[in-house]
Structure 1
Amino acid sequence: MTSWSDRIDEVWADASGEEVGDEIIARIDALAAERGEDDGRAEFERAGARDSAGRPEEAVELYRRALELGLDEDHRSQAIVQLASSLRNLGRFDEALALIEGERERAGAGPYRDAIAAVHALTLASAGRPAEGLSVALLALVPHLPRYHRSMTAYAREIADADT
């Protein structure tokens, strides 16, 4: 028998490249129901389905519940990134920044550091601080460059001062 996680992955694979709608939400909800409403991972998947369907208001509540119920480290980081992104989409920039900045400090050099930086940069830009957002994006890019680390880091820090 296929594991629950594999079946969730199948739904997401089926949704790849298409707009997520009621059918995908229903499939995720059916799988989530197998685990019950007190399961953080199930609530996380339900949140992600609504987020992908352009329903950030519904997603925010479910992400918060998933985090409250508890998630493994990998899904916890994903939930923070996705929650902050949903909050940004709702214009709740201060909440989004508090979450994503906290996760940046907590996660450090973890596997989601670039996703954290991307949401951080987007949120800063949306909040009217585009130079600071550009700086965050450039600093995230620096480790991936073959050269120029010192100069690009200096330029990124200089640009950040333009918003202050």
Structure 2
Amino acid sequence: MDADWEARCAALWDRLDEMGREEFVQAMRDLAAERGPEDPVGLFEVASAHDSTGFTEAAVGYYERALAAGLGGVRRRRVSIQLASSLRETGSPERALAVIAEERERGSDEYDGALAMCEALTLAKLGRDREGLSVALVALAPHLPRYQRSTVNYARGLVGLDPVD
């Protein structure tokens, strides 16, 4: 069922822009129901559907339920990023930073840049622009053809940290 369900889920996401907001969310709820009411993957996809259609406050509860149900794999990292973003936008930026910090402790993967982006935006939301810029520059540095160390050191200097060798 998983491969077929995942394919149907991907196909539904491909139709997001063709559907109305409520129609898309209901279609995702129906699809997720096939997995059971507390299935972490289903909960994550329903949360994402709410979030992507502007129902951000409703998404938070689904994200939290997906985490509590033991969501794993790549969706685990994504849920943290998306939950933090939703918390930031619904008036809980401090809580968003806590989610980001917890996720950062879990390790590193291809979503590190997205996590840094979310952290930078959250810091800016809190009026901590220099810290946010520092986070963004450190995340950008590995992708530059040159000046990686200089960029990291300038970023560290923005927040009063010593340069690295």
Give, in whole Å, the separation in 2 of the partners of 1:119 and 1:92. 13
Equivalent position of 2:13 in the other structure:
12
Q: Distance in 1 between matches of 2:140 and 2:97?
A: 20
Indicate the SS of the match to 1:22: helix
Q: Which residue in 1 is equivalent to 2:68?
A: 68
The gaps in structure 1 that reach 5 residues or longer are none
Residue 135 in structure 1 maps to residue 120 in structure 2: no
Question: Per-residue deviation at 1:107?
Answer: 2.4
Aligned-partner Cα distance in 2 for 1:91–1:5: 33
Cα gap change, 1:20/1:47 in structure 2, threshold over 3 Å: closer, same or farther? farther
Q: Which runs of 4+ in 1 moved over 4 A?
A: none
Aligned residues, how many?
A: 160
One-letter amino acid matched to 2:15:
D
Is contact 1:87-1:96 (8 Å) kept? yes
SS of 2:159's partner is helix
Q: Percent identity?
A: 47
State how 1:98-113 maps to structure 2 within 5 Å: 98-108=98-108, 110-113=109-112
In structure 2, relative to structure 1, the CA distance for the partners of 1:26 and 1:141 (3 Å cut) is same
| 1:97–1:123 CA contact under 8 A, matched in 2 | yes
Q: Deviations over 1:16-60 (max 9, x none)?
A: 5x6861111011011011111120000000100111111111100
Q: Could you say what the CA RMSD is over the residues aligned between the two structures, in angstroms? A: 1.8
Runs of 5+ in structure 2 lacking a partner? Answer: none
Q: 1:14-29, aligned counterparts within 5 Å?
A: 14-16=15-17, 21-29=21-29
- Normalising by structure 1, we get a TM-score of 0.92
What is the rounded CA distance, in whole Å, between the counterparts of 1:19 and 1:111 in structure 2? 30
